[in-house]
Amino acid sequence: MSSLSRFALIRNGESLKTSRIPEVPISDFRADILKMISSGKRLCALILNEKEKKPAKLLSVLSDDAEGKLYLNSSEPVSSYPALTPDLPQAHLFEREIYENSGIVPEGHPWLKPVRRKPADQAVFFKEEGEEIHEVAVGPIHAGIIEPGHFRFQCHGEKIHHLEIQLGYQHRGAEALLQKPNRFSLSIAESICGDSAIAHGWAHCQALEALQGIRPTLKAESLRAILLETERLANHIGDLGAISGDIGYLPASAYFGRLRGDFLNLLMLISGNRYGKGFLELGGAAFDIPPQMRSQAIETLQRAKRHLTEIGEMFFGESSVISRLEETGLISQKVCADLGLVGVAARASGKDLDVRQDHPCGLFRFRYIPTVKLTSGDVFARAMIRFLESQRSLDFLSAVLDSLPEGDLTVPRGKILEERLSVSLIEGWRGEVCHIAFSNAEGKLSGYKVIDPSFHNWMAVAISVRQGEISDFPLCNKSFNLSYAGHDL
Amino acid sequence: MIEIIKNRLKQGYRTSNFPNEKPELPERFRGRPALNQDLCASGCADCLSACPTQALTKSPDPEGKTLSLDMGRCLFCGECAKSCPDGAIVFTRDHRLAANKREDLLIQSQEVKLAASLKEEMRRLFGRSLKLRQVSAGGCSACEAELTALNNVVFDLGRFGIQFVASPRHADGLVITGPVTKHMKEALQLAYQAVPEPKIVIAVGACALSGGPFMDSTEQLGGANAIVPVDLYIPGCPPHPLTILDGLLRLLGRLEDKMETVK
């Protein structure tokens, strides 16, 4: 029997009957996953299948990025099992999460620590011993206006040997709130991670729409795509400004910072909120873009494109900037694949993962945004990806705004169909935002899982600073700019 | 170098003329809500069930003011205004929202009691130089991003003598965002204790005011004033940078329009 037949197939934004997901003994579950990974698939999710009490079933979602397919399988109920992490490093945080949420023990997991639910200060940290080795502890409160998290460095002089990142301070119980059937859940989804309100909000809408068997109009899908790309622009350009600031290149920091505001203001023009909160609606969108606003937006975008090019050329044309960014915070292509990185971080390390290209949904099924890939895996690559992607998004926005389809803003909501599971992927500006929703026999929402791209990528921050100087840490961290709240939920 | 100078000339002068000029916010911007009790006659409760955070309450009142909106809970999503068949709730384009007391955020009409300035001694100390330490205690990064935006060239917080500093020991007060998660409670208390007296606390955003969208979660404590005394409440999800700036300047007694009640 081929391994593919032991998986259920689904595409992004679709739902399937939960009974169609094959349930196999844990040994087969493990072996099948490993086989699929060796044939180029990627671990999109490894979670508890609904119940958070042991014994429970595990559920995996594997992504075939080349074919645009998602493969699901489930294990029989287990209380413990041989951990996947030693064979599959990208499972490391998923298995810690399973252990924390249910008590199911992934035996042989190399570093079975709490993820977010236990107070982080009770965690144990790896400690390096030796002459002249010293420890630097930073956080939870950091020096800037930034979310809390704890960073523990093992250093030899200025050189970082090891960094361990312990999060959980931001744990607000967002996922638990989403698990309860609640028609206000969209306002929670929009606040999972405030800079990705559209990405998480859309992923949430799409997950529920799939469970209800409804699909928004092309009009609403176009509007959603416009907001998503505007959100990407605001964040990418803001990050370029923050990177400029971290290396002390203040003109670029000021100009990028100002330019970022143009996109937040564009979001406000359309939705009334600088982060697009309140724009999405289950079944569509709450706001249209009337013709006059459209021409105003196109004008803003054209001006922004000119400014972006000018500031970008100034920034990347400076040899001292390039020498500061190049070969700092390296993530090799192998580490990228091993850790299962997603989004900007993956594309900067030679992996052209992009949900908009690999698992297109909504308008992206009809309008293609060329994916940008670089191979050097350093801060330079992560900055350059943002610059290039911003230009692609600007072109996309101008084209879509120019030919916005006619149609209704929303379609009527349906009833949640019984015993189904939906997988919803959206390429947020950081990377793949994944929401998984379960319904029960009564047609009620019975489970909900959120995976922010940061969940896949935090380990990369720790790896990227190894053997570097501790003074490079802020720059490396900024080049990823991961979400604490998105991780802690 | 020549590129920097060329860009500098092209960029021009970008700092807004706030507070000397009234800000122009777009038509769809949802600022200070205004209630018209006279229009709320039909006796329905559609707005109550449309609100995601139970910000609206309705109670029988002899004066007829039965509908109240708590801006501390409000996400400014506009669902209540959309649901009202009588147009009794509208979101104005007024960005001014900040108040000194939690109860001042409860509005029943077109009026709101805006924040008053600090007492004279505090104003003498902080009026022209205020150093703040920001603590995110479960904030989703939207409020944090708007606080960061205050430092950009457009809002340019520094021109008012207000600055964010790295250590609470260098600070005159805290700016708190987020509903205060259980896991951040201790860190927040320590940061508060580390700020030298006299000190002020500013809570920013629906989460820090009431728990916001997370108010039903047992993992959070329902906002900053559950842990520390708050001197200034700035509503919003997130508040517009001008809303924050307006609140800060009001607290320091530095705004021209001194009236505390606006129509």
> Are A384 and A374 contacting, i.e. CB atoms less than 8 angstroms apart?
yes
Q: Where are the domains of chain B?
A: 120-262
Q: What fold, for B120-262?
A: Rossmann fold (3.40.50)
Q: Which two tokens stand for residue A191?
A: 């606040």
Say which amino acid occupies A461.
V
**A54 burial via Cβ count (<10 Å: 0-12, 13-18, 19+):** middle
CB B255 within 8 Å of CB B127 = no
**Cross-chain Cβ contact A251/B218 below 8 Å:** no
Maximum pairwise Cα distance, chain A? 70
C-alpha dist (Å) from residue A147 to A10, A241, A398, B75 = 36, 18, 34, 21
Do A195 and B145 lie within an 8 Å CB cutoff?
yes
Q: Which residue type, as a one-letter code, is found at position A281? A: E
Q: Please report the residues numbered 192 through 231 in chain B whose beta carbons come closer than 8 angstroms to any beta carbon of chain A.
A: 207, 212-214, 216-220
Distance (Å) of CA A8 to CA A5, A19, A63, B10 = 7, 10, 12, 56
- C-alpha distances (whole Å) from A298 to each of A364, A395, B27, B195 are 20, 10, 18, 47
- Per-residue model confidence as pLDDT tens for chain A (489 residues): 466 779 999 999 999 999 999 999 999 999 999 999 999 999 999 999 877 777 899 999 999 999 999 999 999 999 999 999 999 999 999 999 999 999 999 999 999 998 998 887 778 889 999 889 999 999 899 888 999 999 999 999 999 999 999 999 999 999 999 987 676 899 999 999 999 999 999 999 999 999 999 999 999 999 999 999 999 999 999 999 999 999 999 999 999 999 999 999 999 999 999 999 999 999 999 999 999 999 999 999 999 999 999 999 999 999 999 999 999 999 999 999 999 999 999 999 999 999 999 999 989 999 889 999 999 999 999 999 999 999 999 999 999 998 899 999 999 988 999 999 999 999 999 999 999 999 999 888 889 999 999 999 999 999 999 999 999 999 999 999 999 999 999
User: Among residues B175, B262, B204, B250, which one has the least CA distance to residue B19?
Assistant: B250
Closest among B156, B167, B186, B161 to B253, alpha carbons compared: B161
In 3D space, the residue among A392, A379, A385, A388 whose CA is nearest the CA of residue A480 turns out to be A379
Task: Please give, rounded to a whole number of angstroms, the shortest distance from the CA of A203 to a CA of chain B.
Answer: 17
Q: Is the ipTM of this complex over 0.90?
A: yes
Q: In what order do the strands lie in the sheet with A133-138?
A: A133-138, A150-156, A159-166
Instruction: Give me the residues of B, 137-176, that contact A with CB < 8 A.
Output: 137-149, 152-154, 164, 166-167
Out of B140, B147, B152, the one facing A485 most closely (by C-beta) is B140
- On chain B, the residues whose CB falls within 8 A of the CB of A147 are 136, 139, 141, 144
Q: In what order do the strands lie in the sheet with A14-17?
A: A14-17, A420-427, A432-439, A445-451
> Do β-strands A150-156 and A159-166 pair in parallel, antiparallel, or remain unpaired?
antiparallel
Structure tokens at B18: 């706030």
Q: Is B54 on the interface with A (CB under 8 A)?
A: no
The answer to whether the CB atoms of A261 and B140 lie below 8 A apart is no
What residues in A contact B135, CB-CB < 8 Å?
A: 141, 148
Distances (CA, A) of A283 to A64, A190, A215, A447, B165: 28, 16, 7, 20, 44
Between A and B, how many residue pairs show a Cβ–Cβ distance under 8 A?
Answer: 182
3-class DSSP assignment, residue A43: strand
DSSP 8-state symbol, A472: G
Buried/exposed code over A391-414 (b: 16+ C-beta within 10 A; e: otherwise):
bbbbebbeebbeebeebebbbeee
Closest CA to A243 of A318, A331, A158: A318
How many whole angstroms separate alpha carbon B237 and alpha carbon B74?
A: 8
CA distance A26 to chain B (A): 33
Distance between CA atoms of residues B76 and A10, nearest Å:
37
CB A449 within 8 A of CB A435: yes
Superfamily designation of domain A174-488: Cytochrome-c3 Hydrogenase, chain B (1.10.645.10)
What tokens appear for B225 in the block?
């004033």
CA A455 from chain centre, in angstroms, equals 7
Is A169 in contact with B240 (Cβ distance < 8 A)? no
d(CA A208, CA A282): 8
For residue A138, the surrounding DSSP H or E stretch is strand A133-138
Long-range contacts of A128-134 (CB under 8 A, 24+ apart): A128/A154, A128/A161, A128/A162, A130/A156, A132/A156, A132/A157, A133/A161
B77 Cβ under 8 Å from any chain A Cβ = yes
Residue identified by tokens 């109920």 is A77
SS3 per residue for A311-355: HHHHHHCCHHHHHHHCCCCCCCHHHHHHHCCCHHHHHHCCCCCCH
Positive or negative: CA dihedral B85, B86, B91, B96: negative
Nearest Cα of chain A lies from the Cα of B50 at a distance, in angstroms, of 9
CA A71 to chain centre: 19
* Torsion angle defined by CA atoms of residues B130, A146, A194 and A300, in that order, rounded to the nearest 10 degrees: 70
Please give the pLDDT value at position B65.
62
The helix (run of H) or strand (run of E) holding residue A281 is strand A280-281
Which residues of chain B neighbour A258 with C-beta distances below 8 Å? 11, 14, 152-154
Could you give the CA distance from residue B163 to residue B252 in angstroms, rounded to a whole number?
A: 14
Q: Cβ contacts of residue B43 below 8 Å, gap of 6+?
A: none
The three-state secondary structure class of A466 is coil
Partner residue facing B138 (CB), from A172, A261, A313:
A172
Does A311 sit within 8 Å of B25, measured CB to CB? no
C-alpha dihedral (B54, B55, B56, B62), degrees to nearest 10: 120
The gap from C-alpha A238 to its chain's centroid, in whole angstroms, comes to 17
Of B140, B95, B131, nearest in space to B234 by CA: B95
Q: How many Cβ atoms are within 10 Å of A27's Cβ, its own excluded?
A: 12
Q: Residue-wise pLDDT tens for chain B (263 aa)? A: 788 888 888 888 888 888 888 888 999 999 999 998 888 876 788 888 899 999 998 887 666 568 889 999 999 999 999 988 888 899 999 999 999 999 999 998 888 888 888 888 888 889 889 999 999 999 999 999 999 999 999 999 999 999 999 999 999 999 999 999 999 999 999 999 999 999 999 999 999 999 999 999 999 999 999 999 999 999 999 999 999 999 999 999 888 665 445 54
∠ CA A377-A381-A387, rounded to 5°: 155
What does the DSSP 8-state code read for residue A262?
Answer: H
A191 contacts on B by Cβ (under 8 Å): 140, 142, 207, 212-214, 237
Q: Which of B29, B181, B183 sits opposite A272 (nearest CB)?
A: B29
Please measure the distance between the N-terminal and C-terminal CA atoms of chain A and give it in whole angstroms.
39
Dihedral sign (CA B250, B253, B255, B259): positive
Query: In angstroms, rounded to a whole number, what is the distance separating the alpha carbons of residues A215 and A362?
Result: 9
Structure tokens at A456: 């896949």
- CA distance, residue B254 to nearest chain A CA (Å): 24
Return the HEC string of chain B: CHHHHHHHHHHCCCCCCCCCCCCCCCCCCCCCEEECCCCCCCCCCHHHHHCCCCCEEECCCCCCCCEEEECCCCCCCCHHHHHCCCCCEEECCCCCCCECCHHHHEECCCCEECCCCCCHHHHHHHCCCEEEEEEECCCCCHHHHHHHHCCCCCCCHHHHCEEECCCHHHCCEEEEECCCEHHHHHHHHHHHHHCCCCCEEEEECHHHHHCHHHCCCCCECCCHHHCCCCCEEECCCCCCHHHHHHHHHHHCCCCCCCCCEEC
Give CA–CA dist A316/A18, Å, rounded: 50
Give the chain A residue nearest B134 (alpha carbons): A145
Cβ of B139 and A485 within 8 Å? yes
Going across the sheet that includes B56-58, the strands are B56-58, B67-70, B106-107
